[in-house]
Every structure is written in C-alpha cells, then in structure tokens.
C-alpha cells in the first residue's frame, strides 16, 4: 500500500496517492450559507454531538441489551469507540444510532418488531444544521465479508471467461502460454514479476487474462482494506462495526492511520465498535467501556482486554528484546497475501 499526503486542489482538500498521483476528494453533500474558506476545510468536525437512549427495562430486544449498560446519554468526539466483550451491545448501539440519525447507506442489522419503535424513542443532537452528511455510511463486518465473497464470485466467473478466451486467441510464446496456464490453475504461485511481465506482453491471450483477472488475485485482507479506502471520504460520518475483520495487524495499523488522518484533518467523524488495540489506541478517541457497570469512559490502556496483550508480550519480552532474528524494516511492512487469507 502506498503513502498519501494532503493537497489543496480546486477549492477543497484532497488525499493524494504518492505513487499514482490519484486524487480522492468530494464536494460537500450538505448546504451552508457562507463560502467555505480553506482554513475551515482543514481540521476536525463533530456532526453528531450527543445521543439519548431509552433506558426502559423490558425483556425484549433491544431494550434488554441497552438497559443493563446504565448508559443514558452518549457524547461524541471526532472518534468515538464502543468497546466490550462479545454480546456486550456494541453492534446494537451502532445499529440504533445509525438508524435514528437517518444514515442512508446502511444495511439491516439485528432487528425485530420492537426495534423500530425503540429507535423512535431515542433522540440525537447534531452540531451541524441538525443533520449529518448525506453520504455518511454504516459499514458492518458482514458488509465487508459480503464484499469479499462477491470478489471471489467475480474471480470464479472471470476465470471461466479467461479460459475460453485464451483458447480462442492464439498464443505465440510458449513461455507466455505456460504462465497463463499456471495462473489459471495456481494463481497464488505466480510471482509479482511474472504477473507484471504478463500484463506487459504483446500476446493477446495473455494480455486479456492479465487485464481482466490479475486484479482479482487479492487476499481477503487486501479486499477488505481496499473496500474501506474506497468508501471513506472527507466531510462524512462513518459507523464502523469491527473494521478489523480479515485485516492483519499491518493492515489494521494502515486503516487506523487513515481514520486518524481523516478525523483530524478532513472533517470526518467516526463511531467504531472494535476489540482491536490498533483502533482503541487512536489518538484522542473517546472510548465507552460497555463491560463496566455502569458504562464508563476509559483510556485504551485501562481496558481489561488490553492487559491480555500486555501480559502476552511482557511474558515473552526476552524474545523481542534479545532476539537475533528481528525482522528487517522491509519485512515488517511486507504483507504476504497468501498468509493473510
């Protein structure tokens, strides 16, 4: 993955890919009476200021999830995190809030006959024109997995097309034919240099294959990270349910860096449900510990589950400090697609 930098282009701040020069920005989806000055475009912004929950005690979902939390009002920061064990209510909270504030880009989470009526009894306060940006989205872990499965189905379909096309078009080089055959049967075994060669070769069959199939050879983690990078844009609000799904630690760190960049500089607000230390340790994140009773705001290093990581590395400290086999810098940043799947 490539590094990015901020650049002010045509009246708006954009994220520019250092390697390709590609610009990623978006016109604001909400109206404002006064022109937007460059100084105002650079920084953080809170669209959703607070949310008030219905804490009535009832033995049905979602009341039975919310009541034990002892949480009446949620006050938001540019990055707000819901932390807790499985079943603690993280996803339920995200679902309730996203539904209540009117997020348009949202798939259906857990719901029942009581859910809609419960959502109507909650309320929120928006710090900007009593609404959130139109392009805001709620991205569930299930959405990411669904995207991965769609990519795999595309690969299976395109693989069949490529085989038929490669049979129709004559291949003039035995080396290229062998590479195409190997790519069809064992895509993970073809080196990056061979793939690059295929994409540049003049042979029609190999070129067809390289242009239409090679981009589908990404691991689950690469697909998940790319999905996040494509969806998240400036001037929006995002509800992310366990964004660490399928991501290696290296990719989790890359996504965390991106979230921090957007939250601090590109007026993007995040509400995240997560177990990952890479997201929990985001700078200035406000963390609600749903495992505590009542729910308490804590620092990431005060969370009980974080001590499990601390204990693991503290117990094995000597392996890291005194080891002669520490990875080189390039190895630390390298992501092996085969291992990542």
DSSP letters, 121-187, are T-EEEESSTTS--TT-EEE-HHHHHHHHHHHHHHHHHHHHHHHHHHHHS----HHHHHHHHHHHH-G
Write out the H or E segment, with its range, that includes residue 38. Answer: helix 38-41
Measure the CA–CA gap between 151 and 157, rounded to whole angstroms.
Answer: 10
- C-alpha–C-alpha distance, residues 115 and 58, integer Å: 12
Percentage of the chain lying above the pLDDT 70 cut = 60
The number of C-alpha atoms within 13 Å of 298 and in the hemisphere containing its C-beta is 20
Domain regions of the chain by residue span: 4-41, 48-135+234-321, 151-216
Note the pLDDT of residue 159.
57
pLDDT digits (tens, 9 = 90+) for 224-251: 888 888 889 998 999 999 999 889 999 9
The most confident of the ranges 2-11, 166-175, 287-296, 304-313 is 287-296
Question: How far apart, in whole angstroms, are the C-alpha atoms of residue 270 and residue 255?
Answer: 13
Whole-number Å distance between alpha carbons of 206 and 176 = 7
Label residue 113 by pLDDT band (50, 70, 90).
confident
**Distance in angstroms (rounded) separating the CA atoms of residues 87 and 65:** 9
Q: Which residues contact 69 (CB under 8 A, 6 or more apart)?
A: 89, 290, 293, 294, 295
| 14-34 pLDDT tens trace | 566 666 655 554 433 333 334
Selection from 283, 259, 261 nearest residue 5 by Cα = 261
Residue 238 CA from chain centroid, whole number? 10
H or E, element range at 16: strand 12-17
Helix (H, G, I), strand (E, B) or coil at 75: strand
Residue 56, both tokens: 């009535």
DSSP single-letter state for residue 43: B
Amino acid 246: pLDDT: 85
Please work out, in degrees rounded to the nearest 5, the angle formed at the alpha carbon of residue 48 by the alpha carbons of 287 and 40: 105
**Rounded CA gap, 240 and 273, in Å?**
6
Q: Are 145 and 221 in contact (CB under 8 A)?
A: no
Q: pLDDT digit string (tens) for 42-67? A: 688 899 999 999 999 999 999 999 99
Say which CATH topology domain 48-135+234-321 has. Answer: Rossmann fold (3.40.50)
């Amino acid at each position: 993955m490539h590094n990015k930098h901020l650049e002010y282009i045509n009246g708006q701040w954009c994220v520019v890919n250092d390697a390709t020069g590609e610009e990623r920005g978006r016109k604001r989806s909400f109206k404002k009476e006064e022109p937007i000055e460059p100084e105002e475009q650079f920084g953080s912004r809170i669209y959703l200021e607070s949310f008030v929950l219905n804490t009535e005690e009832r033995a049905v979902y979602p009341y039975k999830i919310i009541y034990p939390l002892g949480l009446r009002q949620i006050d938001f920061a540019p990055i707000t995190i819901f932390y807790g064990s499985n079943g603690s209510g993280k996803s339920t909270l995200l679902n309730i809030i996203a539904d209540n504030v009117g997020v348009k880009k949202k798939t259906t989470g857990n719901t029942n006959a009581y859910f809609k009526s419960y959502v109507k009894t909650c309320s929120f306060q928006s710090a900007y024109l009593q609404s959130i940006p139109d392009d805001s989205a709620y991205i569930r872990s299930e959405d990411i997995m669904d995207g991965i499965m769609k990519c795999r189905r595309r690969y299976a379909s395109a693989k069949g097309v490529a085989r038929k096309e490669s049979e129709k078009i004559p291949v003039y080089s035995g080396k290229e034919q062998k590479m195409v055959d190997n790519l069809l049967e064992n895509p993970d075994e073809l080196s990056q240099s061979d793939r690059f060669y295929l994409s540049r070769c003049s042979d029609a069959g190999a070129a067809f294959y390289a242009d239409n199939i090679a981009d589908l050879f990404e691991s689950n983690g690469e697909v998940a990270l790319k999905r996040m990078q494509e969806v998240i844009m400036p001037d929006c609000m995002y509800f992310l349910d366990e964004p660490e799904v399928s991501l290696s630690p290296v990719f989790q760190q890359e996504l965390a860096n991106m979230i921090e960049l957007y939250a601090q500089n590109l007026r993007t607000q995040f509400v995240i449900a997560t177990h990952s230390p890479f997201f929990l340790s985001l700078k200035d994140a406000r963390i609600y510990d749903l495992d505590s009773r009542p729910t308490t705001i804590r620092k990431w290093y005060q969370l009980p589950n974080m001590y499990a990581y601390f204990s693991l590395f503290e117990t094995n400290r000597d392996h890291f400090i005194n080891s002669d086999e520490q990875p080189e810098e390039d190895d630390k940043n390298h992501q092996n697609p085969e291992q990542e799947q």
